[in-house]
């Protein structure tokens, strides 16, 4: 893969940084990565090559590219560190990296650019539990005017909303910007709308979450080098376990390997479990009004649908925190039938729902049978995945044969 033509262009509507992607091994058409913001913002993007290297590394790995050549000098720190993150992900998800080696990172030179001084702090904001908690906790920890206080909330169109080719997420994205105005204003934080097509390099759903999302966030962070030296990413809200948390594309151990000398990405509050975050959000009406956790409401509805697994999980969490969730989920009451239409697949999710079953207030006790059945299905699925059933052992053997072939 070759990354070339790092450019900045601007008109009355938007400011765009871009890079040309040329595949060398994979039989794929050339692609132009773009990251854009409205021209009305008092911000200047930088077409720094580190951003596009981060955007391209996961798709290049999955496609079996022998190398990633950056036709520009790149930061020596990221050139040293990024291969470590790639190898960790290859170890965690071998099915996503079926080729023998990760691509080499090559460039036309190296640099030690530390970026301008006196920059400020930003954070990614999606309207979800994790990102709202990040803003609330940061505002508690730092007073207004402190350089570590998050002053800009980066809201990306092209990741969870608008990230899949052929799916329009604009209604949901505009609703996110609208319903978060009260919270952001109260925190003295400015929304930064960002539009990008970088996920279209490889927009498979599972690949995005397991491999691509952390690199994509870091890519967008780097184009703001002229303004932000520290950019926050919200932690996933899982309890701390032996490997810190479940392997994932935004795992806390990967984030340090996406730094450059000019841009630092941090993930604070890893110790805060999802229920702790919801308890914090439950104390703020503005935070509850801004809450948007639903990916299923991408086109027909711009609010939280109340029926998908993320919505049900969040509703149960709010109930446990003493909040009636119906006003924030299309006015719908959670019913037993809803649990028949969702599934959970991970051990950490089983633990979460077991906590709900134990801690739900008496007024919601009628939901416990639905939670119990959901947990039962999940445990049966885990036994199959882990090869503890006949079907599971056959599945494991077939996967090993595919990896060896």
Express each pLDDT in 105-133 by its tens digit: 999 999 988 888 889 999 999 999 999 99
User: Do residues 253 and 166 share a domain?
Assistant: yes
pLDDT greater at residue 259 or residue 302: 259
Residue 283 covered by a domain:
no
Q: Alpha-carbon torsion 152, 156, 157, 160, what sign?
A: negative
Digit-coded pLDDT (tens) for 136-193: 999 999 999 999 999 999 999 999 888 888 888 898 899 999 999 999 999 999 999 9
Average pLDDT estimate for 23-45: 96
Nearest residue to 15 (alpha-carbon basis) of 44, 51, 53 = 44
Residue 393 covered by a domain:
no
> And the tokens for 270?
């890893």
For the chain, the residue count is 405
Average pLDDT estimate for 366-392: 89
User: Do residues 331 and 234 share a domain?
Assistant: no
Q: Alpha-carbon torsion 249, 250, 251, 257, what sign?
A: positive
Buried b (16+ CB within 10 A) or exposed e, 33-65: bbbbbeeebebebbbbbbbbbbbbbbbbbbbeb
Domain boundary among 72, 88, 111: 111
User: Do residues 173 and 220 share a domain?
Assistant: yes
Q: Reply yes or no on whether the pLDDT at 405 is more than 50.
A: no
Cα–Cα distance, 11 to 29 (Å, whole number): 27
User: Do residues 163 and 67 share a domain?
Assistant: no
Domain boundary among 55, 83, 111: 111
Residue 286 covered by a domain:
no
Residue 156 is part of a domain; what is its CATH number?
Answer: 3.40.50
User: Do residues 35 and 107 share a domain?
Assistant: yes
Rounded to 5°, angle at Cα 338 from 332 and 340: 175
Average pLDDT estimate for 217-224: 98
Q: Reply yes or no on whether the pLDDT at 299 is more than 60.
A: no
Give pTM, 2 decimals. Answer: 0.91
Looking at the chain, the whole-number percentage of residues with pLDDT higher than 90 is 78
Residue 92 covered by a domain:
yes
Rounded to 5°, angle at Cα 223 from 267 and 130: 30
User: Do residues 44 and 10 share a domain?
Assistant: yes
Structural domain range at position 197 = 120-266
Domain boundary among 246, 266, 286: 266
With beta carbons less than 8 A apart as the criterion, state whether 174 and 299 touch.
no
Residue 36 covered by a domain:
yes
Q: Reply yes or no on whether the pLDDT at 296 is more than 80.
A: no
Residue 395 covered by a domain:
no
pLDDT of residue 300: 47
Mean pLDDT of the chain: 92
pLDDT of residue 402: 61
pLDDT of residue 298: 47
Count how many domains the chain has: 3
- To 10 degrees, the CA torsion angle through 309, 302, 265, 99? 60
Nearest residue to 51 (alpha-carbon basis) of 87, 23, 76, 18 = 18
């Amino acid at each position: 893969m070759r990354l070339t033509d790092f450019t900045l262009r601007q008109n009355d509507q938007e400011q765009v940084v871009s890079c040309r992607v040329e595949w060398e091994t994979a039989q794929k058409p050339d692609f132009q990565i773009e990251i854009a913001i409205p021209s009305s913002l008092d911000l200047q993007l930088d077409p720094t090559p580190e951003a596009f290297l981060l955007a391209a590394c996961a798709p290049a790995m999955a496609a079996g590219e022998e190398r990633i050549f950056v036709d520009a000098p790149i930061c020596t720190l990221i050139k040293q560190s990024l291969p470590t993150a790639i190898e960790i992900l290859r170890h965690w998800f071998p099915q996503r990296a079926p080729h023998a080696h990760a691509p080499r990172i090559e460039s036309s030179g190296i640099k030690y650019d530390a970026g301008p001084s006196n920059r400020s702090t930003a954070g990614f904001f999606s309207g979800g539990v994790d990102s709202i908690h990040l803003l609330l906790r940061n505002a508690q920890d730092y007073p207004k005017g402190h350089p570590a206080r998050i002053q800009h909330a980066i809201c990306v169109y092209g990741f969870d909303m608008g990230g899949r080719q052929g799916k329009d997420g604009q209604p949901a994205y505009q609703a996110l910007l609208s319903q978060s105005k009260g919270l952001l204003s109260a925190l003295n934080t400015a929304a930064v709308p960002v539009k990008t097509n970088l996920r279209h390099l490889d927009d498979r759903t599972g690949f995005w979450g397991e491999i691509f999302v952390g690199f994509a966030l870091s890519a967008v962070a780097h184009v703001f080098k002229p303004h932000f030296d520290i950019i926050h990413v919200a932690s996933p809200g899982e309890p701390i376990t032996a490997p810190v948390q479940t392997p994932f594309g935004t795992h806390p151990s990967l984030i340090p390997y996406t730094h450059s000398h000019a841009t630092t990405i941090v993930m604070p509050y890893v110790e805060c479990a999802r229920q702790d975050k919801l308890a914090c959000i439950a104390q703020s009406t503005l935070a509850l009004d801004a809450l948007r956790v639903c990916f299923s409401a991408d086109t027909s509805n711009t609010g939280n649908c109340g029926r998908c697994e993320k919505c049900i999980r969040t509703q149960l969490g709010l109930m446990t925190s003493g909040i009636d969730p119906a006003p924030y989920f299309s006015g719908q009451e959670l019913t037993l039938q809803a649990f028949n239409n969702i599934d959970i697949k991970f051990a950490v999710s089983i633990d979460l729902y077991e906590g709900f079953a134990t801690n739900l207030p008496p007024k919601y006790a009628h939901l416990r049978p639905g939670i119990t059945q959901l947990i039962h299905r999940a445990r049966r699925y885990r036994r199959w995945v882990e090869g503890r059933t006949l079907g599971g052992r056959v599945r494991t053997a077939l996967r090993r044969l595919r990896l060896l072939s």
